[in-house]
Structure formats: structure tokens, C-alpha cells
């Protein structure tokens, strides 16, 4: 191998991942033998219609749920073999989450919402925590609104808070489930612009799901899923 060539390392690798769940009296197969590799530093969108398995796939990668079978490796660690405490630690230290409904606490300020996931990380002291929160809020351009409550913000501003909260822990991977679904087209493009900028500047790997065709041309890589199966 040419020593001048840099090897691209996967941050996440799935092999043969299957997942079913019960919906009333019916068993629904959400993922059917998924093979997927996400390399460090990528900006990737998972594309598919509602019910295609996008959210389930992100839940597997985010260690929120476990597969029925198959392998999931995060930084070469087999997460399906980790105990619950180790999974919680991995999620808190290495993964940031952005949700389409923002999931902000209404009675907490922007600053307090961003700080929230850091409070359970005993490795971060108060001074470090304050610095990380300030940096994350500055990254999304909300310094002047840091004392505001969520109901004093627009939809686009709330999503910026959610992005800041995801970044505050300095994660290796940020997962975003339909992050623009509740935004108009102008704010949708602004949020994607912001995520692309942070991907380039912070070198954080982004993986997000969408069914918005207008956004598909904005990403460096598209992964298509249909009925729980990866499509080429």
C-alpha cells in the first residue's frame, strides 16, 4: 500500500442488521439484513419514504435500540455486546442527537437546554461545561438569545438550539432524524447549511434521515432505504 494514501476509517459499520417490532397484533419487520458503513467525517443522508426504516436504522446506530440479529460496530467496538451502562456512556460521550420535534425543555433557557446532556458527564467540570455550552451556542449564532426560553424562539432558532445541544458534548457522530421536517423551505436550507459548515469546521460526522427531495442534492452521500432494505 502507498504510505502516502490515508486510510478512511469507518466510525460505524453494520452487518446483517435485522429488527422487528410488534404493532398491536402484527409483527413489523423494520430492517431486513442491513449492511452499511459510515466513514469518519462524512455528511450522509438516509433517504426513504415514511415507514421505510429510516428512524429504526438511526436508533440502531445511536444505540437507542438493539437489533434482533447482526453486528453493529462503533469505532471498532461491538455495541451489541455492551452492557446498558456502557451503552449509555457511549451515547453520552460519542453521539449527539437532533430530533425533528426539537425536544427542548420549555422551562429551561437556551443555555440550560444546551447544558443538559453535559450534566450527567462526570468527566466534565463546571468550567469546561460552561465553555462547551458557550462555544456550541456561538457555533449556531444564538449568543444574543441564550437566556430566552424555547417559546420565545422561532422554529429555525429552536432547531439551532437542538444542534448546539448535540454539539456541546463534542461527539464523534451526530444523528439527526428528519431535522427539517417541521421547518419551512427557507429554514430547512439554512439548517442544512449550518450542519454542512459544522461538518467541515468541526470534522464531526453527520448522518441524518430525510424524505425531502429538495435537500438530497445538498449532501455528499445518499443512502437509500426501502421497506427495510438498502437500495443501490
The pLDDT of residue 5 = 44
- 46 CB-side CA count, 13 A: 29
> What confidence tens digit (pLDDT) does each residue in 80-121 have?
999 999 999 999 999 999 988 889 999 999 999 999 999 988
The pLDDT of residue 214 = 67
Domain layout of the chain by residue ranges: 41-58+84-231
The pLDDT of residue 38 = 96
Distances 112 to 56, 106, 118, 146 between C-alpha atoms, Å: 29, 10, 10, 8
Q: Mean pLDDT throughout 176-193?
A: 88
**74 strand-pairing partners:** 12, 77
> What confidence tens digit (pLDDT) does each residue in 28-75 have?
999 999 999 999 999 999 998 888 999 999 999 999 999 999 999 999
Q: Name residue, grid cell 442534492.
A: 217
Q: What angle do CA 196, 143, 151 make, to 5 degrees?
A: 90
* Nine-digit cell string for 56: 429504526
> What confidence tens digit (pLDDT) does each residue in 124-148 have?
999 999 999 999 999 999 999 999 9
Q: Name residue, grid cell 438493539.
A: 66
The separation between the first and the last C-alpha atoms of the chain, rounded to the nearest angstrom, is 29
The pLDDT of residue 51 = 87
Q: Which long-range contacts (CB under 8 A, 24 or more apart) does 202-205 make?
A: 202/139, 202/167, 203/41, 204/96, 204/167, 204/171, 204/172, 204/173, 204/174, 205/11, 205/38, 205/39, 205/40, 205/41, 205/42, 205/43, 205/172, 205/173, 205/174
The pLDDT of residue 231 = 87
- Percent of the chain past pLDDT 70, that is, above it, reads 96
Q: Was domain 41-58+84-231 assigned CATH 3.40.50.300? A: yes
Lowest mean pLDDT among 48-52, 153-157, 212-216: 212-216
Q: Does residue 1 have a pLDDT over 70?
A: no
The DSSP code for 22 is E
Closest C-alpha among 77, 96, 118 to residue 171: 96
Query: For the purposes of burial, counting CB atoms within 10 Å of the CB of 134, is it exposed (0-12), middle (13-18) or buried (19 or more)?
Result: middle
Q: Does residue 12 have a pLDDT over 50?
A: yes
* Nine-digit cell string for 212: 425531502
Amino acid at each position: 500500500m502507498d504510505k502516502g494514501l490515508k486510510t478512511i476509517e469507518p466510525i460505524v459499520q453494520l452487518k446483517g442488521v435485522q429488527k422487528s417490532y410488534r404493532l398491536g397484533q402484527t409483527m413489523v419487520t423494520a430492517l431486513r439484513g442491513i449492511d452499511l458503513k459510515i466513514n469518519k467525517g462524512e455528511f450522509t443522508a438516509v433517504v426513504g419514504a415514511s415507514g421505510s426504516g429510516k428512524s429504526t436504522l438511526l436508533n440502531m446506530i445511536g444505540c437507542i435500540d438493539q437489533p434482533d440479529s447482526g453486528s453493529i460496530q462503533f469505532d471498532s467496538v461491538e455495541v451489541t455486546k455492551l452492557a446498558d451502562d456502557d451503552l449509555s456512556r457511549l451515547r453520552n460521550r460519542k453521539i449527539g442527537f437532533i430530533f425533528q420535534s426539537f425536544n427542548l425543555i420549555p422551562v429551561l433557557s437556551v443555555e440550560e437546554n444546551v447544558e443538559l446532556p453535559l450534566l450527567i458527564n462526570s468527566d466534565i467540570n463546571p468550567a469546561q461545561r460552561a465553555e462547551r455550552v458557550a462555544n456550541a451556542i456561538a457555533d449556531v449564532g444564538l449568543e444574543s438569545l441564550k437566556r430566552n426560553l424555547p417559546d420565545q424562539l422561532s422554529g429555525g432558532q429552536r432547531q439551532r438550539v437542538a444542534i448546539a445541544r448535540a454539539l456541546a458534548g463534542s461527539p464523534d457522530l451526530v444523528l439527526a432524524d428528519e431535522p427539517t421536517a417541521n421547518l419551512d423551505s427557507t429554514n430547512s436550507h439554512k439548517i442544512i447549511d449550518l450542519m454542512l459548515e459544522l461538518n467541515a469546521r468541526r470534522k464531526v460526522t453527520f448522518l441524518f434521515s430525510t424524505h425531502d427531495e429538495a435537500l438530497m442534492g445538498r449532501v455528499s452521500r445518499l443512502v437509500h432505504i426501502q421497506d427495510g432494505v438498502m437500495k443501490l
